[in-house]
Structure formats: structure tokens, C-alpha cells
Amino acid sequence: MEAQYVYVGLAAAFGLFMAWGIGANDVANAMATSVGSKALTIRQAILVAAIFEFTGAVLAGGEVTATIRKGIVDTDLLSGTPELLVHGMLAALLAAGVWLLVASKKGWPVSTTHSIVGAIVGFAAVGIGVDAVQWDKVGTIVISWVVSPVTAGVIAYAIYRSVQKLILSHEDPLARARRYVPVYIFLAAFTITLVTILKGLKHVGLTISLRDSYLLAIAIAAGIALVGSFFIGRIEPDPGAEKDRRFHTVERVFGILMVVTACGMAFAHGSNDVANAIGPLAAVIGVATTGAIAAQSALPIWVLMLGGGGIVIGLATFGRHVIATVGRKITRLTPSRGFAAELAAATTIVVASGTGMPVSTTHTLVGAVLGVGMARGIEAVDLRVVGRILVSWVVTIPAGAVLAILFFFVFRSVLP
């Protein structure tokens, strides 16, 4: 009985630590476009992320958690020794948390999904055997790390090209912005709202038919677009500023849109990346409470709340360092460019989260920002910064694996 409490207590502590690391590193990436384009201050970005990261984690975080919890390791091989799974998942959480702490301190935008998947594969391959790793599942996840930034990049490129064609290339871009930006607001709000209804509400016990889900999403998105349109209508042109920057007032209009996409990006990130912290935690709780590895275990709401809360604390206490740098270094962002990147990344992440695919927010957002940069020409992208980011991504998987192996052997010798 005492061992059960020790396991759950350690898992909760390490899960909170891992969630803190996600907030410190990954949420900074998610909010960097908003801060880099000056649509939000760092303080405002932290407030937006606190509300929507937590909501996304609690409402829509369950689908991906199942993949992290039981999709990577063949748990049938551990049916006789469930404590090995506990030791391994504890090691994976601590290893990923330590690596994220190091990376955040250095200002490296690494993938928390890489960190935890690499750590789980490391402990499973060494602690149980290479056959214990479901390599086909790992292969699918690895493919998603390539597909997600490419997909987000293509979508971001298309969105920003549409902005250029519909608004920026016309004689009166402000009038065109007033007409078309509410449409972009509607699309952003509709995407996030629909997935919340379809995937998130079942975690709080609500079920709505598909037809009603679409109607509700359309109604909510239309309402948000109307509110956005009201605020856009109140923006007056500034002739003095327009002399220095032709699109000054237009970018202020897009600044309102960036608030909507920032909320969507935070929700999308919370729904997908909370799994990195609570997936292993849920596996430990399942073994500790039942004494066996269950094929399907209920996910307590307090676990989702612990993950969401940890993410928010990490962002508030340590995230501003990465936020302040990532949003400015890859390519120069304005609200219209940041909006295209954020909407593309949020759409990619939300769809992946709904299908149970743990994609990397870092990869997706960097891909989206690159897509926006490419829409302005290759010279608009700082390829040296992109190169350093890619190196940090490659290092993350082996770093997580090595740390997890070390911690696994320590826990196996110390814990009951």
C-alpha cells in the first residue's frame, strides 16, 4: 500500500516538473509569433496562454494521452512485472523534464514530444528489450514530425499568399482588411471551436450530434467574427504612421486577428502537448491503483488539471526568455505574417490532436513561420537560425533516451 502512494506521489511530482518544462519551452514557441509580431505583449501572451492552454489540456487532452501512455511500449510483455513499467515511466518523465530545463536555460526551442518519446523508447529498449518498443507506432510518430511542419508550412504559405492577394496588393488595403479579416477570424474560430466540441466535450461528459456540432461551431465562430468586426471598425487610419509604413493601420487590424489565433494556438498546444506530461503519469497511476497493466484505464480529471496547471506555471516563471527570442529570429514577423503562421500551426496541431497523433508544436510552428518567410522569398529567412534549431531537434531524442536509461536503473535499484 505504501509503495502505491510512493509511485503516485513521484509520478505526480515528475509529471508536474515535465509540464513545467513544456510551459517553459514549448508554450514559448507557441506564443512567440504573437509577441514577435508585437500583437501581444509578453504579459498579455502569458495571460492568454494561461487560460487557453489550461482549457485545451483539460477539455481535449485525452486523445493523445492514450498514444503516449500505451501506444509506444508493448505492455503485454510487462504483464508479469508491472513495476518495470512504473520505473520506466517515472524515468521517462524525469529525463524529459531535466532535458527541457537544460534546453530552456540555453534558449533552445526543442520538442517536448521528442523528449518524452525518446525517453520512453530509451527505457523500453534497454530496460525491457528492443522487442518491447512498438517500432511501427514510433515510425508513425516520426513521420508526423516530418509531415506536420511541411503541412503547416504549406498552409501558412497559402494563407499569407491569400492575404497578399486579397488585401496587401490593393490600392486601399485598409478597406480590404475591414472586409476580409472578419472572414479570417471566422475561419480561425470555427476550426478551434469545432474540434473542441467534437473531441473535447466528451471528456466532461457532454455529447452533441455531428450536425448540431457544426451548427454550434458556426454560430460561435460567427459571434466571435462579429465582435472582431466591431473592434476592427473602431480602428482609425493614422496618416502620419502610414507615411513611414504603408500597412501600419492594416497591421493593427491583423493585430486583433492575432489575439484570436493566439487563443487558438494556446488551446491547440494544450490539447496536444499536455499528453507528454500526463501520459506516463496516467500509466503509473493505472498500475499503482490496480496492481496490473490495464488495457484501458480511466483518466482522472485531476491528472489533466495537474498537466494544464504545470504548463501555465512553467510559462509564467520561465517562458519569457524563449518567447522573446524565437518570435524574432527566423524571419521578421508582422501581425499579418504571424496570423498566417499561427492559424496554420493551430489547424495542423488541432487536427493531429483529434486523431491521436502526438505531433511536435515546435516543428509545426517553425514549419509555419518558414512557410510565411518563403512567401516573401528565401532571403527573408535566416537559414543559420533554422540550422541551429534543426541541430537542437536532432540532439533531443538521444538526450532524452540516455537520461531515461540512467534514471531507470536508479529507480529499479532504489524503489520497491
Query: pLDDT tens string for the chain (416 positions)?
Result: 577 788 888 988 998 999 999 888 887 766 777 887 788 888 888 888 888 888 877 776 665 555 554 566 666 666 667 778 788 889 989 999 999 998 888 777 788 878 888 888 888 888 777 777 778 777 777 777 778 888 889 999 999 899 889 988 888 888 888 888 899 889 888 877 776 676 656 555 667 787 888 899 899 999 999 998 888 888 888 777 766 667 778 888 888 878 877 887 787 777 767 777 777 777 787 777 776 655 555 567 788 788 888 888 888 888 877 776 666 666 677 888 888 888 888 788 777 766 766 677 778 888 888 888 887 767 677 777 777 777 877 788 889 999 999 999 998 888 76
CA separation, residue 18 to residues 24, 164, 233, 235, 377 (Å): 10, 40, 43, 42, 38
> Which residues constitute the domain of residue 6?
2-414
Angle 112-127/82-106 helices, nearest 10 degrees? 140
Q: What is the pTM of this model?
A: 0.78
Bridge partners (DSSP) of residue 133 are 73
Whats the size of the chain, residue-wise?
416
Domains of the chain: total: 1
Residues 197 and 62: beta-carbon distance below 8 Å: no
280 vs 286: CA distance, rounded Å: 10
- Burial code of 119-131, b = ≥16 C-beta within 10 A, e = fewer? bbbbbbbbbbeee
Measured at the CA of 352, the angle between CA 348 and CA 354, to 5 degrees, comes to 120
CA separation, residue 54 to residues 16, 49, 111, 221 (Å): 13, 8, 19, 21
